[in-house]
Chain A
Amino acid sequence: MTVAPDSHPDLGVGQPWEVVVERGKIAEFAEAMLSEDPAYRGRDAIVPPTFLTSAARWAPPGVRVNVGFDRKRLLHGEQEYVFHRALPRAGDVLTAQERVAERYSKPGKRGGTMQFATVVTEYRNAAGDLVAEAKATFIETAGKQ
């Protein structure tokens, strides 16, 4: 399948926002994922692998990037989390920032064009060290032909 880079890639960068890793939020998330792991309870709770999705949802208005896709044709294709050092834990204060890392398109299966955008969120500690990265791939399906 041919992958064509867009001629005018719009690789936006969002604004940083503060993420306070809260033990109650970790326990709530663990319960929602049907996990009874004691690692997710108590004052020293660590975060589950996909927990940082909640940090993104609580970002203040205006700081996140907008890939500009039609919501009616928007799919979340892939999601990945990479942890570069010890997992974030209750009490940590991180700084998150999103960027559109990549845009590309492919021909749709029934004609038209599918657009792809990869959004990377970096999570850094107070020293500025990269703690974790989240990578989301969004797809805008081809419009009706």
Chain B
Amino acid sequence: MKPGDQAPSREFGPLTRQMFVRYSGASGDLNPMHYDDELARSAGYPSVFAQGMFSAALLAGFANDWLGAANVRRFGVRFREQVWPGDVLTCSGTVVAVSAEAEADLVSVELTAARQTGGVAVVGTAEFALPRNAAPDAAGPAEPQ
């Protein structure tokens, strides 16, 4: 893995109110703006919208599938655009740095979750420590390709 390497992008959605409700229950964030359309409209929104942390969790899952759930050392996001029912989020990731530690390679990545409009909902950065496979012994035979 080296800087510039990209993860295969992945789409989540179309997102549904049921997904928002499920995230409300799982996270304990019971803000009704995410499941009560009447309330959301009375506050001036066209409908309910996704929890920012729901979009962040999708982006985290995408990064895990790429680099390994057990390897995460840091995961951070900035919230940009709101995400609405029916949206499709496309997650993408790029390696920006790799540094060698004693028993692992620390891989730093940039992550993006973009709406179908192209608008960016969430940007993230993360670090994953990838355990180094048994380093080839300099004196030993080369691994078959």
Interface residues of B in 14-37 (CB under 8 A from A): 19, 22-23, 25-29
A37 near B65 (CB under 8 angstroms)? yes
Interface residues of A in 45-69 (CB under 8 A from B): 46, 48-50, 53-54, 57-58
Q: Does A9 contact B (CB under 8 A)?
A: no
Docked pose: A20 CA to B19 CA in angstroms: 25
Kindly state the interface size class of chain B when it binds its partner. 20 to 34
State whether A77 and B27 are in contact (beta carbons under 8 Å apart), knowing that A31-B22, A33-B58, A37-B61 are contacts in the complex: no
What are the residues of chain A within 8 A of B75 when measuring CB–CB? 49-50, 80-81
Closest to B24 in A: A32
In the complex, which of the residues B26, B29, B72 contacts A87, with contact meaning CB atoms closer than 8 Å? B72
Q: Does B2 contact A (CB under 8 A)?
A: no
Q: Does A113 contact B (CB under 8 A)?
A: no
Q: Does B107 contact A (CB under 8 A)?
A: no
Closest to B12 in A: A34
Q: Is the interface of A mostly helix, strand, loop or mixed?
A: mixed
State whether A82 and B73 are in contact (beta carbons under 8 Å apart), knowing that A32-B22, A58-B28 are contacts in the complex: yes
What are the residues of chain A within 8 A of B64 when measuring CB–CB? 35, 37, 39, 48-49
23 A–B contact pairs at CB < 8 A?
A29-B26, A31-B22, A33-B54, A33-B58, A33-B61, A34-B12, A35-B64, A37-B65, A37-B69, A46-B69, A48-B57, A48-B61, A48-B64, A50-B75, A53-B27, A53-B29, A54-B26, A76-B53, A77-B79, A78-B77, A78-B78, A79-B53, A80-B75
